Structure 1
């Protein structure tokens, strides 16, 4: 008998995890609309509001930037642990299943990255998760310590890059590769040409060409900011949470969790404000100056704890029945997170690029935040309607069918 994990049924799902996925998708949408809108503080568009936008942008840095992809990373590791827990035993068959699942995840994420929007995170998550699968049989203590060290590793990496520039070779090489691709297309460089092409072109093929050309820059950025070890570290901690059933254990001590959450918010919200409002200096960071090292140290120490405080806050709130009633519609977005994530990219292209309505450089932070609320509200309605008739989101269904090597039933059985 095969030991491959079977698909999770709706009754077996942990609603809290679906809620977190849904909330994380909303936070990621707000962060990503900044890039879709081709926003620049120097541009005055129809929906830009000067000083108000500056304040809103700062608040987004404090409360949103990096926090929700961190939560998403934790959830991904947690989900892999649940898949393994559902297996009769963790053997070569289970590992093969997990790797097959990740290959097809990378395939779908790669299609999103190379043909829709280069800012994709799914491909990266799939790639990094191969390491998680390889480490899955280590002790809980080893996984937890490794996860923490990986979260702190950007500090060491940044210091090494300051001392020995060759350490940044992967990023430098990918940046030069991106420049060659731009030259091949007859464009000047990314900063000069990207906005113009996306704004003025009305053809899908031009968008695809830009996305393909930007892919090396995307990976160069991931190496430059040491995103890869941070994602793996968060995944390992999520895997630890899932394998030890930590969520159920700590929620038996709600008062302790409540106090820790309050302390976490009181301490780490101001520290994240200090990180974004005082220490942030992109020029110093990318030129490997000492200010960039200070920023890296602070980022490594204050972002992850605030993400955890968000998670425990939602866990406590979700214990209240009346709050569950309010938040339950968001679960559908979490259950169809992959589809909704890609759908957000398509909406961003349609709204902001020349191939759609061409509203690029017209939205400031306040406006794109309101736009995110409207888009997410639409996704809540559409996701709930979809799940009235279907078991999975469309991309989730394709992914599952590929993984299980068999077309999975999509429609819900009639009563």
Structure 2
């Protein structure tokens, strides 16, 4: 068998032993599975990249059928829209959050393996991501980078927590949606504060995006549109859910549930069954709790909490099904998602750069020209082109364009080799 000298260099006829950062994170467990089939270039975990690419595809399809936030002006309610939302609505976003926590734990673990503390650098990395998100929200108000950056900053102290059980306990508290349940109880007791919006948002004027100039639409997105977005994240419980998913991603990385998925089939099977049960019963459970309180049947806070519980369950199903599918011949097809999954920042922002001029009034204004079926098909075609472009790019470069810029900014130097020939020489 081949011996791993770090991730990537190996010598023949030796036991596989690895000293990469991921392995050193797990005390007393330093061996990669010999046949896990997940290791890609530069020691990356190909299945994680592919899962991230799957989340990117789902998010893009949701944005397409939503016409990049304009669907409320002229709602469509056909089978395609319902199918896309059933498959990906709120779930792709949640997968991104879980993998964000996974990446955080990987980066910090690799730094510790090198004997360095990356905390300060990672904080600056998140500040840069917040900057990217702020520029992005000027183009598309529904973007998620700002939320990931802010939650990431809040989660920095948890890297110091050694106990995975503590991390999971905190995640469970976040998943319970305690703020929503507290407001539900407060409303049942007649407290006015519980019925008022926690984060009052001004009226959402989407018409500016369809009739205004580029600068008017940009200002609308940066001001009222951004407030509406954050109000939605807080009011619906999504921000709390992201906290829990971030911590779960950290534990998954520490435990090797993705890097050594073949050794955790039983655990992923339990995730599949438990996630399915929560997905089916989450909303009903929250409404049952609301019915137990006097005068509060069907309370909106309970409905929001139940929706988050249900979406959490289906997100777990997504992850488990993908892990099992990766260990079958379907991996050859899913492997195409790995390249776009390695440059999600570039492609995610690129999707808005492409679609906003097509849909918004300051561009071609095609927001009401196509039904959800056409928009979904267009999304599939455009994502396929992005996947092909990503494969071409990574045959020549190590990082995507925005990923390279993010890395150079994090390290504070432009001397970050990107071309493969230069990187290999370095």
TM-score (norm: length of structure 1): 0.80
Q: Report the CA distance between 1:306 and its aligned residue.
A: 1.6
Q: Report the CA distance between 1:410 and its aligned residue.
A: 2.1
Query: Cα 1:271–1:359, aligned 2, differ >3 Å: closer, same or farther?
Result: farther
Equivalent residue, structure 1, for 2:171: 147
Whether 1:29 aligns to 2:60 is yes
Equivalent residue, structure 1, for 2:99: 75
Indicate the SS of the match to 1:93: coil
Whether 1:133 aligns to 2:156 is yes
Residues 259-315 of structure 1 deviation map (CA, whole Å, 9 limit, x = unaligned): 54664576466558x77xxx8xxxxxxxx9734244234324322122112112111
Unaligned runs of 5+ residues in structure 2 are 1-20, 23-38, 288-295
Asked if 2 retains the 8 angstrom alpha-carbon contact of 1:22 and 1:331, the reply is yes
The separation in 1 between residues aligned to 2:83 and 2:313, in whole angstroms, is 17
Asked if 1 retains the 8 angstrom alpha-carbon contact of 2:279 and 2:311, the reply is no
Whether 1:244 aligns to 2:259 is no
Whether 1:371 aligns to 2:371 is no
Asked if 1 retains the 8 angstrom alpha-carbon contact of 2:275 and 2:312, the reply is no
Residues 190-227 of structure 1 deviation map (CA, whole Å, 9 limit, x = unaligned): 3xx422x22233x4212212212311221122221122
The separation in 1 between residues aligned to 2:195 and 2:244, in whole angstroms, is 20
Query: Cα 1:97–1:241, aligned 2, differ >3 Å: closer, same or farther?
Result: same
Q: Report the CA distance between 1:236 and its aligned residue.
A: 0.5
Residues 334-366 of structure 1 deviation map (CA, whole Å, 9 limit, x = unaligned): 000011110111122022112222111233332
The separation in 2 between residues aligned to 1:171 and 1:341, in whole angstroms, is 30
- Mapping 1:23-102, distance limit 5 Å: 23-33=54-64, 34-36=66-68, 38-40=70-72, 53-88=77-112, 93-102=117-126
More RCO (CA 8 Å, sep 6+):
1
Asked if 2 retains the 8 angstrom alpha-carbon contact of 1:152 and 1:300, the reply is no
Q: Report the CA distance between 1:161 and its aligned residue.
A: 5.9
Whether 1:119 aligns to 2:142 is yes
Structure number with the higher helix fraction is 1
- Mapping 1:301-312, distance limit 5 Å: 301-312=309-320
The separation in 1 between residues aligned to 2:74 and 2:217, in whole angstroms, is 24
Q: Which of 51, 71, 75 pairs up with 1:20?
A: 51
Asked if 2 retains the 8 angstrom alpha-carbon contact of 1:250 and 1:257, the reply is no
Residues 21-68 of structure 1 deviation map (CA, whole Å, 9 limit, x = unaligned): 10000111122220426224856xxxx7xxxx4333333332211111
The separation in 1 between residues aligned to 2:351 and 2:133, in whole angstroms, is 14
Larger displacement relative to structure 2 (127-136 or 84-93): 84-93
RMSD of the TM alignment (CA)?
Answer: 3.1
Residues 94-121 of structure 1 deviation map (CA, whole Å, 9 limit, x = unaligned): 21122121111111112112x2212121
The separation in 2 between residues aligned to 1:32 and 1:11, in whole angstroms, is 32
Q: Report the CA distance between 1:402 and its aligned residue.
A: 0.4
Whether 1:194 aligns to 2:226 is no
- Mapping 1:220-239, distance limit 5 Å: 220-239=231-250
The separation in 1 between residues aligned to 2:167 and 2:45, in whole angstroms, is 23
Q: Which of 379, 389, 395 pairs up with 1:388?
A: 395
Asked if 1 retains the 8 angstrom alpha-carbon contact of 2:111 and 2:118, the reply is yes
Query: Cα 1:167–1:409, aligned 2, differ >3 Å: closer, same or farther?
Result: farther
Q: Which of 403, 421, 425 pairs up with 1:413?
A: 421
The separation in 2 between residues aligned to 1:165 and 1:394, in whole angstroms, is 50
Indicate the SS of the match to 1:252: helix
Equivalent residue, structure 2, for 1:401: 408
Unaligned runs of 5+ residues in structure 1 are 180-188, 280-287
TM-score (norm: length of structure 2): 0.78
Equivalent residue, structure 1, for 2:365: 358
Q: Which of 208, 216, 231 pairs up with 1:206?
A: 216
Q: Report the CA distance between 1:125 and its aligned residue.
A: 0.6
Query: Cα 1:77–1:351, aligned 2, differ >3 Å: closer, same or farther?
Result: same
Query: Cα 1:258–1:398, aligned 2, differ >3 Å: closer, same or farther?
Result: closer
Count residues in correspondence: 371
